[in-house]
Amino acid sequence: MRLLLVEDDTMIGEAVLDALRGAHYAVDWVRDGEMADTALGSQTYDLVLLDLGLPKRDGLDVLRRLRARKSTTPVLIATARDAIGDRVAGLDAGADDYVVKPYDIDELQARIRAALRRGAGQAGPAFSHKGVSLNPATREASVNNVPVQLSAREWAVLEPMLSRPGVVFSRAQLEEKLFSWKDEVSSNAVEVYIHGVRKKLGPDFIQTVRGLGYLVPRA
């Protein structure tokens, strides 16, 4: 999953970036509201972690502009412990949830997982489809309840498709899930990881749609 971290405090930003990358998310980090607005206008993210007090354009304004573009991307706002007014304003402007600063990293990760699940219409803790199950909290994968070991990048390619069966993902979209701006992308990376997933889950779980991309079929 690809996340946008919007945070102007360098120390906090570095700590959150480390934690999220450690949890295998592809993360882009921007430090002001203008850059956040630009990133959200040009890339598709699975979730945004949005500080409200930002240089150049404040977080509420970034959020309102995102929702005005009809984006349904889940947004978690970050507010100070005593800033109840900010939380109310943020939720009313279209945020999905809030986290309180200073961050408790475990709670932050759990709220991110919950928001990603809800964004995918899943109520339970795991993404499940046709016997294949991925639990983002435990990083456990299984096929018909038999555990399977997926590499972090095989997981990153499979998770978006498994969370939205029937939706075709282009190679470029899957590359976005795999890598952040600064990482190198080899031209056949997506094919390599899909090949790995097929060896573990069976050849037909992910289908190739010629000229378009890949999908996990609905039925």
Q: In this complex, which beta carbon is closest to Ca ion, that of residue 78 or of residue 116? A: 78
Q: Is the separation of the CB atoms in 40 and 4 below 8 Å?
A: yes
Q: Give the residue carrying structure tokens 């779980």.
A: 205
The helix (H) or strand (E) run that includes residue 75 is: strand 75-80
Q: How far is the CB of 80 from Ca ion (least distance, A)?
A: 9
Q: In this complex, which beta carbon is closest to Ca ion, that of residue 77 or of residue 134? A: 77
Q: How far is the CB of 206 from Ca ion (least distance, A)?
A: 40
Q: In this complex, which beta carbon is closest to Ca ion, that of residue 8 or of residue 34? A: 8
Q: How many CB atoms lie within 10 A of CB 39?
A: 18
Binding site for Ca ion (CB under 5 A): 8, 51, 53
Nearest-CB residue for Ca ion: 53
CA distance 60 to 23: 27
Q: In this complex, which beta carbon is closest to Ca ion, that of residue 15 or of residue 148? A: 15
Interstrand relation of 127-129 and 97-101 (parallel, antiparallel or unpaired): unpaired
Q: Is the separation of the CB atoms in 6 and 50 below 8 Å?
A: yes
Q: How far is the CB of 7 from Ca ion (least distance, A)?
A: 7
Q: How far is the CB of 8 from Ca ion (least distance, A)?
A: 5
